[in-house]
């Protein structure tokens, strides 16, 4: 059993270029990880493979049952009720593996995004597909839930297509990685670690080859100039224009040189250099190394003038259907970088909602400050509003925003062209557009969700250098360690500062 995409091309209606162009790839039994930067076409390819998008050209194997686990968790899976009512062995084992309580499927609107994600994956596995495409399945999941997910997906025996920035999950599941690169998709064996090591070896080899090609081109150019000068001097020596007509000895020497070809040799060697120079130029052009953008996102940013940007009085607030969340007195200073951690369903989103209310009350009391608030997920109309707002910026502001997008590792030329902006690109665009307002406080809920690995590293560097106040909710401890210096933990109905 295998899934074959042959000569597939797909372009979004308003896009200038196809996101996938004449692609041929085979997915065998086992997990294949799709790797690449945000917006390169990973989700599009997964949807085409599952029959959710029809390609503009090419063919896809259609005699297989497919299931697709979407990145976002806005809508419940179509078969959620059937899964909840099934008490067969498979359904019971999945509920046990993911620790899904019987009432959970019936409370979709009340669930955290992490709890929704577990239900999405469980329902997809329960349907018993031939092909399972999991698009960023560890988004929103805490450490325990990620372990449950990895074990469940590892037991899947069909054709798996994994779109993920989670290096540990890719290493656990993938037997090969298909990477979106400037020259097309490159398939390498193994999980992320082995595929990444191979890609880095290829990159370093390409960089060395480019350096050697540049040196060779410079050497040949210098040699060509030298031979051209020698040929010019030979032409001058063969000329009889300035000789005395009676100087027969000089004319004889010139005739002999022309007859033996000695003076013409320099000219012929100079002509031969053209072909060698052209070959060296082609070698240099072929030795491509992908560019990465680095820069300072916060050139004119500065902390708020007042020392405290957020004061949280002690309170006990409702959390979940019947629980409460106990909050001690908390403070966020003008330069504090605070990380909020805790398991799924503990109340992190409830805490953020409470903080937003406090910020709104402060604004009403005349203590307003500029806050950039980027939530976990956005509904479709809000996504369209973000791109429309960015498109309406002045040319100077749009240029700066798109420069920020480039520094966060996305292509600024295509992000506003009219195709559907990927969730990762949308987050970058929201940050880029928000930076223009000089925020004193940035609030981000799960900022690394939907981001590719290079983008996560770029965002990590950018937020670590932010001079103002940060409040980040994340399950990515490595990311928080790099970006924050304080931690609020939400667990067992309480918020504690660690």
Q: Let me know: does 97 contact 151? Beta carbons within 8 Å.
A: yes
Residue 397: pLDDT band (50, 70, 90) is confident
Instruction: Give how far Cα 4 sits from Cα of 8, 18, 52, 84, 175, Å.
Output: 10, 20, 15, 33, 17
Least confident of 167-181, 280-294, 347-361, 372-386: 280-294
Q: Let me know: does 330 contact 312? Beta carbons within 8 Å.
A: yes
What distance in Å separates the CA atoms of residue 247 and residue 449, rounded to the nearest whole number? 89
pLDDT of residue 415: 66
Residue, of 77 and 204, whose pLDDT is higher: 77
Tokens standing for residue 301:
């940013």
Query: Across all residues in the chain, what is the average pLDDT?
Result: 82
Q: Let me know: does 140 contact 113? Beta carbons within 8 Å.
A: yes
Q: SS3 letters for 27-94? A: EECEEEEEECCCCCCHHHHHHHHCCCCCCCEEEECCCCCEEEECCCCCCCCCCHHHHHHCCCHHHHHH
pTM of the model: 0.65
Q: What is the pLDDT of residues 282-302, one digit of tens each?
A: 665 665 545 544 455 665 678
pLDDT beyond 90 at 381: no
pLDDT of residue 73: 83
Residue 344: pLDDT band (50, 70, 90) is confident
Least confident of 34-48, 379-393, 409-423: 409-423
pLDDT of residue 233: 63
Residue 259: pLDDT band (50, 70, 90) is very low
pLDDT beyond 80 at 276: no
Residue 487: pLDDT band (50, 70, 90) is very high
């Amino acid at each position: 059993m295998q899934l074959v995409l042959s000569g597939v091309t797909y372009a979004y209606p308003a896009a200038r270029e196809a996101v996938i162009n004449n692609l041929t790839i085979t997915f065998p039994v086992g997990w294949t990880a799709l790797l690449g930067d945000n917006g390169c076409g990973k989700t599009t390819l997964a949807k085409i493979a599952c029959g959710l998008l029809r390609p503009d050209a090419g063919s896809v194997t259609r005699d297989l049952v497919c299931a697709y686990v979407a990145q976002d968790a806005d809508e419940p899976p179509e078969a959620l009720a059937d899964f909840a009512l099934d008490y067969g062995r498979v359904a019971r084992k999945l509920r046990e593996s993911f620790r899904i309580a019987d009432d959970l499927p019936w409370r979709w609107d009340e669930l955290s995004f992490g709890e929704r994600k577990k239900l999405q994956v469980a329902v997809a596995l329960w349907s018993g597909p031939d092909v399972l495409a999991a698009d960023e399945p560890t988004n929103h999941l805490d450490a325990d839930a990620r372990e449950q997910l990895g074990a469940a997906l590892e037991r899947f025996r069909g054709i798996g297509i994994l779109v993920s920035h989670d290096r540990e999950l890719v290493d656990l599941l993938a037997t090969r990685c298909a990477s979106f690169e400037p020259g097309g998709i490159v398939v390498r064996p193994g999980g992320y670690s082995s595929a990444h090591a191979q890609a880095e070896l290829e990159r370093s080899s390409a960089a060395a080859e480019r350096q050697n090609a540049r040196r060779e081109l410079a050497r040949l150019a210098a040699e060509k100039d030298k031979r051209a000068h020698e040929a010019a001097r030979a032409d001058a020596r063969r000329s009889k224009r300035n000789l005395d007509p009676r100087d027969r000895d000089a004319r004889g020497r010139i005739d002999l040189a022309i007859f033996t070809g000695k003076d013409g040799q320099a000219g012929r060697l100079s002509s031969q250099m053209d072909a060698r120079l052209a070959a060296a130029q082609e070698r240099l052009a072929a030795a491509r190394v992908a560019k990465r953008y680095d820069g300072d996102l916060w050139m004119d940013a500065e902390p708020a003038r007042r020392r405290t940007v957020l004061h949280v009085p002690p309170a006990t607030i409702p959390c979940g259907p019947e629980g409460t969340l106990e909050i001690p007195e908390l403070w966020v200073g003008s330069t504090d970088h605070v990380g909020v951690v805790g398991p799924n369903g503990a109340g992190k989103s409830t805490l953020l909602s409470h903080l937003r209310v406090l910020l709104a009350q402060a604004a009403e009391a005349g203590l307003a400050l500029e806050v950039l608030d980027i939530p976990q997920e956005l509904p479709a109309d809000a996504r369209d509003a973000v791109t429309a707002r960015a498109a309406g910026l002045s040319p100077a502001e749009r240029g700066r925003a798109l420069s920020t997008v480039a520094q966060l590792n996305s292509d600024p030329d295509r992000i506003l062209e009219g195709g559907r902006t990927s969730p990762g690109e949308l987050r970058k665009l929201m940050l880029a557009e928000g930076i223009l307002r000089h925020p004193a406080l940035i609030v981000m809920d799960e900022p690394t969700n939907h981001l590719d690995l290079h983008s996560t590293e770029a965002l990590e560097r950018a937020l670590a250098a932010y001079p103002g106040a940060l409040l980040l909710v994340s399950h990515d401890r490595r990311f928080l360690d790099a970006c924050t210096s304080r931690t609020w933990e939400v667990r067992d109905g309480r918020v504690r500062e660690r």
